[in-house]
């Protein structure tokens, strides 16, 4: 057997595999001998079927199977030994004159070669946002917490601060749904005026159109889908069943302990510091996600290299379960090119900076992730053995293991980028961050 490679250009090559009868005959003979032992042919005892009959019935299919096995194995070994960095998979070059009745065979495969890449992390300008929780946001969160943990007090009639519970109805549309709302949910002064001063048992005459500030609230209140209420214009009745308001909780130790646990916070100053810390921790996750996306876009834009486009289009046409037409494959290439470019850039960055993930790191990351999830459900101190057992079960699922590995690699790369890249840093409030980033 002989394998040779011919470079067409820097990104394309052809591998030729020559297989002679000597390469496969011994294996074919062994398989046929085993077939003979097991064959059930009328007129012959098992194991006594003439070899000529076995060869006639099975010889060609066994030979084709063994040649294909030898071809795949030898091609894979060649690619590994030559350390060829290829894109996609080798594509067989079809020969209309190929003949399986011959003894010696020649196979050719097209290869798409990965390009040489130089990644310069200093190119381009990237803004790194540092999101701060300002006094206005902290004030609002303190108020929200006071209301969330406050005392619900019944009211005789609807006022500006009321929560109103009742039943929306429309007999023709089959609507009869219980809902709770506040005057802040109601759109327009005329609609709000219908509620103010109403008492339990009163029935209000309303219209669905322009009743709420948001379609989501209207849909939830009527038990409908959001897409079904956008143009909805029907009369409604609303029978009031309960009226109440929330008396804000006092900023005392009982309140602090209820929110953060006993003794964690012991003053309003510490409360505000804790809210600021927690909020900025959440903001950091969003800022980091934006930063990683911005870095990705910057690297793609500022790292130039060619790809074996024609080969990749041809490969995409055959890679899926269903073959694609040339036009479909070209369209698929256009959709996937950007992602492929970043995969190659990311691989080069990881290689240049020795970024790796071993199993112990992945297991530790999985344990940390599981610990966070358990804490959300009130399990604050799980045993190490329990965490490790859950992590091992999670990692046995290949999809979950791959997802966690991707997250861990992204975290490592982001930390690397933060060390290596010079950013234009900008301190903003969360509101300004949203305005600038999600314009």
Residue 241's domain is classified under what CATH number? 3.10.50.30
d(CA 196, CA 199): 9
Sign of the C-alpha dihedral computed for residues 157, 160, 166 and 170 taken in this order = positive
Asked whether residue 52 is assigned to any structural domain, the reply reads yes
User: Residues 291, 422: one domain?
Assistant: yes
pLDDT digits (tens, 9 = 90+) for 167-185: 999 999 999 999 999 999 9
Per-residue pLDDT at 195: 96
What angle do the packed helices 253-260 and 268-302 form, to 10 degrees? 30
Query: Of the residues 199, 214, 247, which one is the last residue of a structural domain?
Result: 247
Asked whether residue 118 is assigned to any structural domain, the reply reads no
| Phi and psi angles of residue 37, each rounded to the nearest 5 degrees, phi first | -65, -30
SS3 315: helix
User: Residues 237, 275: one domain?
Assistant: no
Asked whether residue 135 is assigned to any structural domain, the reply reads no
Scanning the structure block, which residue is given the tokens 């604050």? 380
User: Residues 173, 43: one domain?
Assistant: no
User: Which one-letter DSSP state was computed for residue 180?
Assistant: E
Alpha helices in 112-161 (DSSP H): 135-148
| Phi and psi angles of residue 409, each rounded to the nearest 5 degrees, phi first | -65, -40
Asked whether residue 401 is assigned to any structural domain, the reply reads yes
pLDDT digits (tens, 9 = 90+) for 40-61: 777 787 777 888 888 888 899 9
Query: Of the residues 85, 113, 141, which one is the last residue of a structural domain?
Result: 113
Asked whether residue 128 is assigned to any structural domain, the reply reads no
What angle do the packed helices 268-302 and 326-352 form, to 10 degrees? 120
Per-residue pLDDT at 94: 77
Per-residue pLDDT at 49: 82
Per-residue pLDDT at 377: 79
With CA atoms as reference, report the closest residue to 1 among 77, 101, 95: 77
Residue 230 has pLDDT above 90, yes or no: no
d(CA 364, CA 366): 5
d(CA 89, CA 28): 27
SS3 210: coil
SS3 332: helix
Residue 398 C-beta-side C-alpha neighbours within 13 Å: 0
Average pLDDT over residues 369-377: 86
The total number of structural domains that make up the chain: 3
What is the DSSP pairing of strand 105-113 with strand 12-19? antiparallel
d(CA 212, CA 210): 6
Query: Of the residues 189, 220, 247, which one is the last residue of a structural domain?
Result: 247
What is the DSSP pairing of strand 235-247 with strand 424-429? unpaired
Per-residue pLDDT at 140: 94
pLDDT digits (tens, 9 = 90+) for 83-138: 999 999 999 987 777 888 889 999 999 999 999 999 999 998 999 999 999 999 99
Residue 78's domain is classified under what CATH number? 3.30.70.1050
Asked whether residue 278 is assigned to any structural domain, the reply reads yes
Q: What is the mean pLDDT of the chain?
A: 93
Average pLDDT over residues 76-88: 94
User: Residues 417, 272: one domain?
Assistant: yes
Asked whether residue 296 is assigned to any structural domain, the reply reads yes
Average pLDDT over residues 150-159: 94
User: Residues 234, 276: one domain?
Assistant: no
User: Residues 412, 313: one domain?
Assistant: yes
Q: Structure tokens of 25?
A: 């005959």
User: Residues 331, 378: one domain?
Assistant: yes
Sign of the C-alpha dihedral computed for residues 41, 45, 50 and 51 taken in this order = positive
User: Residues 271, 321: one domain?
Assistant: yes
pLDDT digits (tens, 9 = 90+) for 296-327: 999 999 999 999 999 999 999 998 889 999 99
User: Residues 232, 285: one domain?
Assistant: no
Asked whether residue 261 is assigned to any structural domain, the reply reads no
With CA atoms as reference, report the closest residue to 368 among 358, 356, 357, 382: 382
Cα–Cα distance list, 374 to 18, 258, 368 (Å): 59, 19, 10
Residue 395's domain is classified under what CATH number? 1.10.3120
CA angle 206, 170, 185 (to 5 degrees): 40
Buried b or exposed e, range 360-391, using 16+ CB within 10 angstroms: eebbebbbeebbeebeeeeeeeeeeeebeebb
User: Residues 172, 228: one domain?
Assistant: yes
Residue 87 domain boundaries: 2-113
User: Residues 186, 216: one domain?
Assistant: yes
User: Residues 337, 415: one domain?
Assistant: yes
d(CA 146, CA 176): 33
């Amino acid at each position: 057997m002989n394998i040779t490679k011919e470079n067409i250009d820097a990104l394309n090559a052809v591998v030729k595999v020559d297989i002679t009868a000597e390469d496969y005959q011994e294996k074919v003979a062994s398989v046929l001998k085993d077939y003979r032992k097991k064959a059930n042919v009328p007129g012959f005892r098992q194991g006594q079927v003439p070899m000529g009959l076995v060869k006639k019935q099975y010889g060609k299919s066994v030979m084709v199977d063994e040649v294909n096995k030898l071809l795949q194995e030898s091609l894979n070994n060649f690619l590994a030994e030559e350390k060829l960095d290829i894109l996609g998979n080798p594509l067989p070059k079809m020969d209309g004159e190929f003949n399986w009745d011959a003894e010696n065979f020649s196979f050719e495969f097209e290869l798409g070669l990965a390009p040489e890449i130089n990644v310069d992390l200093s190119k381009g300008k990237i803004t790194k946002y540092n999101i701060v929780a300002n006094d206005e946001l902290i004030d609002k969160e303190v108020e929200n917490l006071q209301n969330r943990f406050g005392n619900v007090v019944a009211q005789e009639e609807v006022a500006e601060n009321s929560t109103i519970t009742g039943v929306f109805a429309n007999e023709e549309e089959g609507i009869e749904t219980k809902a709770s709302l506040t005057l802040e949910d109601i759109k327009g002064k005329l609609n709000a005026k219908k509620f103010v001063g109403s008492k339990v048992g009163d029935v209000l005459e309303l219209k669905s159109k322009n009743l709420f500030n948001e379609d989501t609230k209207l849909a939830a209140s009527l038990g409908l889908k959001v897409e079904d209420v956008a143009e909805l214009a029907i009369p409604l009745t609303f029978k009031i069943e309960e009226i109440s308001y929330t008396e804000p909780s006092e900023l005392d130790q009982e309140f602090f302990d209820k929110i953060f646990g006993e003794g964690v916070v012991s003053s309003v100053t510490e409360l505000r510091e804790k809210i600021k810390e927690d909020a900025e921790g959440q903001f950091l996750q969003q800022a980091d996600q934006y930063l990683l996306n911005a870095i990705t876009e910057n690297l793609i834009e500022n790292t130039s290299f060619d790809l074996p486009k024609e080969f990749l289009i041809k490969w995409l046409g055959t890679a899926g379960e269903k073959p694609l037409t040339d036009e479909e494959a070209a369209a698929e290439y256009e959709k996937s090119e950007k992602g492929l470019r970043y995969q190659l850039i990311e691989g080069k960055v990881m290689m240049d900076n020795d970024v790796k993930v071993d199993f112990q790191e992945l297991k530790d990351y999985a344990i940390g992730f599981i610990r966070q999830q358990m804490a959300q459900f009130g399990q604050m101190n799980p045993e190490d053995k329990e965490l490790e057992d859950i992590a091992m079960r999670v990692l046995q699922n290949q999809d979950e293991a791959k997802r966690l590995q991707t997250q861990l690699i992204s975290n490592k790369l982001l930390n690397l980028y933060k060390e290596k890249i010079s950013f234009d840093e900008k301190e903003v409030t969360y509101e300004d961050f949203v305005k600038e980033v999600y314009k």
